[in-house]
Each structure stands twice: as C-alpha cells, then as structure tokens.
Structure 1
C-alpha cells in the first residue's frame, strides 16, 4: 500500500467541508483508507494509528489541514487527493486548494462583512478555543450567530448569550448544526414549505424531525431556531430559548411555537414555556418527567411525534395516523424470526433520535443501554441480554472518520456485526436527508439491509427523516429501503415502537399512543 500525506499550512476548513473531502477521497478507486482533517492531536493520533509517518506533519497544528490517502498505487492516491481537493476547495478560489484559493477567500470575519455588507447572520465553525472570540466579533458587527463549533466552554456560551440578549441578537449554539431563518437553510437542514409554526430546538435532529413532520403533514414552518444542546440545562438556564420564544410571540408570521429539547432541566423548561404567554406553545421535551407541570394552555409531550401532532392540532388540523398499516408490516417481519432472537439494537446518526428511542423502548421493554444513556447505570458496555441504542455521531465513532449522516461506512460495519448476533431480533436505523447529508443513503445502506433480511437475520426497521423537497428524494429513499425488505415507518418514534413490537412479537403495540 502507498501512504500519501500532504499538509496545507494555515488552511482551516470547517467540519462539513472536511467530511465532504473525506467522502470524496474514500470514494475514489483503489483507496483503502483516507481522511481530510485538521491537524489536531486526536486526528494526528489517528493518522499514526493508520500507519502514516507523523514526521511529515511535524509542527502542524489545529489550523493546518492534512489530506491522507492509503491506496494500492501512487496513481490511485494522486487521483483521490485531486478528488478530495476538488470537493473541499471548489468555490473558494481556483479549485486546486493552493495559495490562490486561500487568497481569494476572506481570511477574517471583518473581511467577509466588508465584501458582503448586507449580511445579518454569521455561521462560525472554527476550533472551540477560538469560537467564542469570533462569535463576539460577529455580535459586534450586528450579526446573529450560528455557532457550529463544539468544544466551547459553558462559561463562554453563557457570556455570548448574555451579550446577545443585551444586543437583541441570536446566538444559536455552540454545537448548533441546524437552523432556518427567513426560509434560508443553515447547516444540516431539510427543505420545508412555508407555514406558521416556528420550531425552537435544543436538539439538532430533533429540530429536523419536527420541521419535516410539520411539512409532510401539511402545516409548514415559519422559522427553525437552533439553540445548541446545552441551552435548557441548569447551567445555561435557557438563556437563548427564552429570548427566542419571546421574539416569536411578537412575530407576525408565527401562530404556534414548537419547543424541542433533549432531556431538559425541569425548572429551566418551565421558565422557557412561561415565556410564551400570549401565543400557543407545544413543548416536546424528550424524556420529561410525567409530573412536569406546565402553565395552562401549554401542551407538553415526551416524544417528537406527539409534539408535531399537537402542533398540527393547534393549527386547527389533524395529522395523519402515524401507525397506519404498521401492524401488518411488523407481523410479517416478526413471523420469520426464530425464538432466540429477542433483542433490539438501535444504530442512530441523530443524537436526539437516539434519546427519543431510549424513551420509547424503555416504556415497552424496560432498561435500554446506550453510549448516551438517559439514566446513570445504563451506559456501555451493556450486560449480556441487554437492549442497546448507539448514537454514532458521538466522538468515539467519528474520530478519524466522517459523521454517519454523511458517510455510511461506520453503520454498515455495525449493521453486519449486529446481524451476525443470533440473539438480535431487530435493528433500528434513522436515515437523515436534507442539505449536508449523504446524497443517496439508500444506495449504500439498503443493499446491506437486504442481505441481512434475506439471509435469515434480524428484521430491520428504518425511518427516513426528510421531505419531498429534499435533494435525495424522500419517496425514492423510502422505496429503496422498503424494496430491501425493511419496515419503513412514518416517524422516528414509531420506528422504535415497531422495533419493540417485533422483539416482543406483539404487532398491536404499534398503535400505542406516544
């Protein structure tokens, strides 16, 4: 094998661009392994583990980009590197990734604003140590901020959000990957129709699921405001959520607010929903305690599906039955399983959808273990005979490889591994469409699913998160998985319920209210 490594000093590209480059590299003929990444200590460690000579990147740091290719020939490595450069640098300059490309792009926020003085939002994706300063610069320039960066301290987040509130601006993040303002999609986002429900979310794929369901159920969306996953924790105190809700109360284009969160602090969640006085609010608080008390007129749900159903009802319409026809599909899938197959395995690309699955499955099956557990004591490694759900977007699965929303490789490995376990009854997958996601996920995942079901393995339940407007083709993706023998559901929560029903051989469970 040929090990080819090239360093691009002082060339920072954000994580989405890195992932795009990595995908192009690995898709090239003759490539065994490849990565386009910043020279952080963790990425350099992974580089060494893959057999590359680190002397070639001696002195490199987090602002330096490397492209590494392990291929069967020098020609294959060169072709792959060219494809990776094309994916990363096209549109930044001459497309070659050289000095001209970097010189033609603004090097600072100030330069970017000077070139485009009408801008009103800054999308910031730099290393976490530098992200706070850049966000402060954006606020000083009168911009709202989508802070895509992670590894930003809680104290910096609090300082930024307090300042944004004083200035009447938004700071969405850190770790905010999804937003839609003025019907402009930012980060990972789905194409949704205009409507009069606004989504405020401390959950990335939770925001996408809520917006996609509202679109598919004929209501549409006015705005999607991402908050970052920590906003509703006790430490951050809902600083941006309260501000966003108050702003939407005054927004003439919004009639209903749908608040979405991973498991929140109860007192913080209560303060946020109280900020909506004067406008209908539905709070989809995943895993919230059943004794949570909300103000009169506020509808509280424990799943995204139920939240979207309630928001549709608040608009005076009725959502379609998400369980329609599902019992028959579950009955067929369960009928081919041997009695030894009893366990559920969830392999998720969306962190919020993994949390929701833990809630739904635990209600029916009891304890479910995860790398992002809802309760202490239910982490990994799981004991024998335990149900498990994995968030494959967490760092332990993305270190040195693309996010599973962009690259299917990690899930394909785990799909085959879990299918080989004779105790596994059903595997649950989420497939996220939209801007930033894999261009055709069913083309890679569906054949693996078909092989599993055809070989007498476990059942596979798939939920496709998307809309008719998404570039991947929502119905085409669903059809690809259905043709592969998968059970395809209408919502993410219903996929987990279907998985539990298959494991228990109880098709009637699919109609349980969520």
Structure 2
C-alpha cells in the first residue's frame, strides 16, 4: 500500500520557484508516486489536502515552516529519498551568479547598470526602489502588495528624475529588445507598447511579430497605473518617452478599463502627440476624439483589434493578410462544427481556466454578449463573484493567477499544477461543453506548458467520451517560434490530441460562443469582426 509522509522543517524558508523545481526532481525518484515540497501556507495545505498528500504533521505546519509531502510505494527507500531532498534543499539556485549583500556596493561594482528588476515583499519595495532611483536607474518592479500610496510616491519621484518605474506587479516589459520577467522573443520594430497588463503586452507583441512587425519598447506600467488613485502617472510619462524615441513610430496603450477621468486625460495627451496611436481599454468607453485626429488615433475594444489597427497604422499593406492570418479559417470552422454535432443535450456551459488575467478579462467581456454573465474570481460584475474560487458554476472563467491561487506559490505560468487538477474537475461536470485554456510561452514561463497538461487533457477527453459525452477543448498559445518552448511543437501536440487551437484569445472566446450557441457560420464570424475587431 502507498504511504503518505509529511516531514516539517521548522523555520526553514526556500523560494517557491526553487521548491517547484525540487518537487519536480523528487517526483522522478524511484518509489515516489507523488511529491510536493512547499511552505506551509494555508493555500499550499489546501492543495496538499486536495492531492491526498496532507497528514496531521503537515496540517500543523505554519507558513514559516517547510513541508516535505511524499506519497511513496511500500517498497520505497524513505531514508534515501529524504537524503536526496535534503541535498536539493542545501543547494542554492544562484550558484553561478554574482551575489551581493549590499546594494550600494553592487552598484559601485557595476557602474554600467542602468535598469534594475526588483522583486521583494511589497511592504519593503519603497526602500529599495527609492535608493535605486537616487542612483539613476530605471526600475522594473515585479513585487505585488505594494501600498498604493507608496506606488504614487515612487512614480512621482521617478518622473522627477526622468526615469521609468515599471510596475508594481509588472509582469512583462521589453526594453530595447531585451525581455524582462515574463516576455516573448519578438523582433525589433517601430511599435512601442505601454501596458497596464503583462499578458496584454505579450498578446499584442506576439501577434504583431506573427504579422511581420516588431517592437521598439514594451513598457509595463503595472495594473493600477490607470486607476483613479495613481492617475496614469507612468502611462503619461511613457507617452512622453516614446514620443521622443526615434525608433518608435506607432504607440499602443493597453489596459483594462481605466477610470473615466484617467481615460480622458490619456486621450487628451494622445491627441496632443505627433505619432500614430492605438488604444485598447478592453471593453471600456469609446470616446469622441474629433475629426482632426481620426485615422491617427484609433480606439479598439480587444487585443486582437489593437494588433490589426496597429498594423494598419504601421504598415497598411499587411492589414488584410493580418486579418486572414488571425481569423478563423475553414479548417478551424469545420472542427467547431464537428464538435457542436457531437455534444449531448444538456451540455451548454463554458469553463475558462486562464493563467493570464487580462486574457481572462477579455474572454469574459466577449462571452457575456453571447452566453450572459460569467462567474469568476475576478468577475465583471461583483454579484457574479464565485463563492468558492475552487468550484465553478454555470459559465465560469477563472484567473488562476489571482491571489487566491498564488499565495506562497509560483504563478501558474511557472507552475501549472493547480490548473492540471482543475481540468479533471471541470471535465466531470456533465453540463460542460467546452474548456478554454491559454498557454503562455516565453522567458520565465514553464519550459513545456503543453507537456505539463498533456496527461490531464487526455484523461479528461477520454473520460468524457467513456460517459457518452464529447468535451471540446479550445486553446490559444501566446508565443513565437523564437521562444524557448518551441511553439510549433506545442501546437502540434495539442492538435494531435484533438484540441482546437485558435490564433488569438478573442477568437478562442468567439469559438466558445459558437459552440454554446450551436452556431458555426461565416455570417456569425463577420458580425463578430465588425463589433470587436475594428477601430473607432
């Protein structure tokens, strides 16, 4: 009989990403059926319980304790396994890097540094950032839970110093072709992107790369920059920076809907500029910009639409080919029609399991027009917030990068284990017709995201068929063929499994709507394109 063992290491801390890699290595050891090495946070203990890996010893661990949770065969060498775990825990993941204990000494020793990536607990970020700004460095602030009053203070000071402060909670930036944090390998080109969304920046930069365009800079300003409290401080400053940049010809501004006052302030600044602009405030208000600016300033409703209108401004001869490339072709349409024909009566719900928060938001914005309001842990309307984010109901889209799923754990772009488990749960619901998944490639992401989901997807599809149902799985891959994960292979593996791969997130949402409505025709697609993919 398998044994469940929990060993608690009191007061021992290791970074969640390091523990993820250690867990992967331990699972490969002889006699190990499952393993999770993690800090004893409430979330991690919930996951251990769901996986059947929690014992009373682990349950009593505090968030400052490290838990070694093992499921091993009855013949496994427990002492040998634990010795290997201890060996892995003793190694630092930064052995090949220069490590400094003093920030000033590090900067004095590397005087050519002009940008710093900061990832410290949010309450301590201000102390580090202000010192770096005093030393004249641009900042990419990855930290979350930064007090908003600190964000305002730091950004105002950065602007005074003429420096970029990207973040906090900036998941993605691309500066002079260098990918920072989660970003894709895209070509250089004339398009500058200012984004309050990491995955929004990734989606648009990747689509432009596929079309044949490139990025001068991608500035991630942090998700709160366009809020009423922060007032778009870094967005407005970034517009000034890109207006002066000779390598930038067209500027794209991306965000979930900002506050009305900030929207108007940004649009007024854009109208005063001299370059071409595309805004994408997903699902936000479309303002009257006046005839004088029409054609130079274009507002869009979706990330897909933003990529198309940017193409129109930057290289108009590519526009119609881009429309074709990013659309639903005959082959995909046939797959959707075939899937609809196989659904059983009563299968009517959509379940979206997203690792990209803005992609989840965009999907909800589109789908609500076709299937009604969507339940979520990050809903468009507060009354549709899930009572329990671990359990879906009716039409549900979940942002697995939300704080409920990431406390003390790596982001699901790095560690897909929560989504892998969730796929099986959604597949068991006889009313589910379609599951939507985003796979985000690039630097910082899992080395093989599709491979990590493969067994779970195969089991979900097979178990549905064995119970007389057809489960349709849709996927969208955010990536390029230059990314380290080999996008062509990722796509091929999904398609061999029967997953329908869509060229954009907006098209995946459209496909989900078509399936639930039982309608797969070109007229529907044309109506969608006119509503969501054109500029204003």
TM-score, length of structure 1 as denominator length: 0.89
SS of the equivalent of 2:227 reads: coil
SS of the equivalent of 1:377 reads: helix
Distance 1:54 1:421 in 2: 31
- Out of 336, 342, 348, the position equivalent to 1:342 is 348
Distance 2:314 2:460 in 1: 42
1:4 aligns with 2:7: yes
The alpha-carbon distance between structure 1 residues 233 and 34, as it changes in their structure 2 partners (threshold 3 A), is same
Distance 2:159 2:113 in 1: 20
- TM-superposition CA deviations, 1:164-223 (whole Å, max 9, x none): 000000111111111111211110111101111011110011111111111111101111
- TM-superposition CA deviations, 1:3-62 (whole Å, max 9, x none): 3344686x775x65555455555565516342345x8x757977997447589988x96x
The alpha-carbon distance between structure 1 residues 265 and 468, as it changes in their structure 2 partners (threshold 3 A), is same
Distance 1:198 1:132 in 2: 28
Task: Tell me, yes or no, if the aligned pair for 1:426 and 1:461 is still in contact at 8 Å.
Answer: yes
Q: Which residue of 2 aligns with 1:70?
A: 70
Q: Which residue of 2 aligns with 1:440?
A: 448
Task: Tell me, yes or no, if the aligned pair for 1:69 and 1:80 is still in contact at 8 Å.
Answer: no
Q: Which residue of 2 aligns with 1:324?
A: 329
Distance 1:33 1:449 in 2: 21
Shift of 1:278: 0.7
The alpha-carbon distance between structure 1 residues 451 and 257, as it changes in their structure 2 partners (threshold 3 A), is same
The alpha-carbon distance between structure 1 residues 151 and 298, as it changes in their structure 2 partners (threshold 3 A), is same
Structure-to-structure mapping, 1:356-395, within 5 angstroms? 356-381=362-387, 386-395=394-403
Distance 2:302 2:146 in 1: 28
SS of the equivalent of 1:254 reads: coil
Q: Which residue of 2 aligns with 1:312?
A: 311
Q: Which residue of 2 aligns with 1:301?
A: 300
SS of the equivalent of 2:382 reads: coil
Task: Tell me, yes or no, if the aligned pair for 2:348 and 2:433 is still in contact at 8 Å.
Answer: yes
SS of the equivalent of 2:515 reads: helix
SS of the equivalent of 2:187 reads: coil
SS of the equivalent of 1:199 reads: strand
What is the RMSD computed on CA atoms of the aligned residues? 2.8
Task: Tell me, yes or no, if the aligned pair for 2:22 and 2:85 is still in contact at 8 Å.
Answer: no
Task: Tell me, yes or no, if the aligned pair for 1:217 and 1:320 is still in contact at 8 Å.
Answer: no
Q: Which residue of 1 aligns with 2:162?
A: 168
Shift of 1:488: 0.3
Q: Which residue of 1 aligns with 2:417?
A: 409
Shift of 1:294: 3.9
Distance 1:139 1:436 in 2: 25
SS of the equivalent of 1:117 reads: coil
Greater Cα offset, 503-512 or 41-50? 41-50
Q: Which residue of 2 aligns with 1:484?
A: 497
Task: Tell me, yes or no, if the aligned pair for 2:346 and 2:431 is still in contact at 8 Å.
Answer: yes
Shift of 1:408: 2.2
- TM-superposition CA deviations, 1:357-401 (whole Å, max 9, x none): 001101222211111012221211399973110001112122354
Distance 1:493 1:434 in 2: 20
Q: Which residue of 2 aligns with 1:99?
A: none
TM-score, length of structure 2 as denominator length: 0.85
- TM-superposition CA deviations, 1:258-282 (whole Å, max 9, x none): 1111222132123223333111110
Distance 1:16 1:124 in 2: 16
- Out of 510, 515, 527, the position equivalent to 1:497 is 510
Structure 1 unaligned regions, length at least 5: 93-103
Structure-to-structure mapping, 1:126-205, within 5 angstroms? 126-205=120-199
Task: Tell me, yes or no, if the aligned pair for 2:5 and 2:55 is still in contact at 8 Å.
Answer: no
Task: Tell me, yes or no, if the aligned pair for 2:242 and 2:251 is still in contact at 8 Å.
Answer: yes
Task: Tell me, yes or no, if the aligned pair for 2:8 and 2:58 is still in contact at 8 Å.
Answer: no
- Out of 427, 430, 436, the position equivalent to 1:428 is 436
Distance 1:18 1:120 in 2: 31
Aligned residues: 494
The alpha-carbon distance between structure 1 residues 401 and 208, as it changes in their structure 2 partners (threshold 3 A), is same
Distance 1:432 1:489 in 2: 13
Distance 1:431 1:203 in 2: 16
Shift of 1:445: 1.5
SS of the equivalent of 2:189 reads: coil
Structure-to-structure mapping, 1:99-118, within 5 angstroms? 105-118=99-112
Shift of 1:283: 0.6
1:281 aligns with 2:283: no
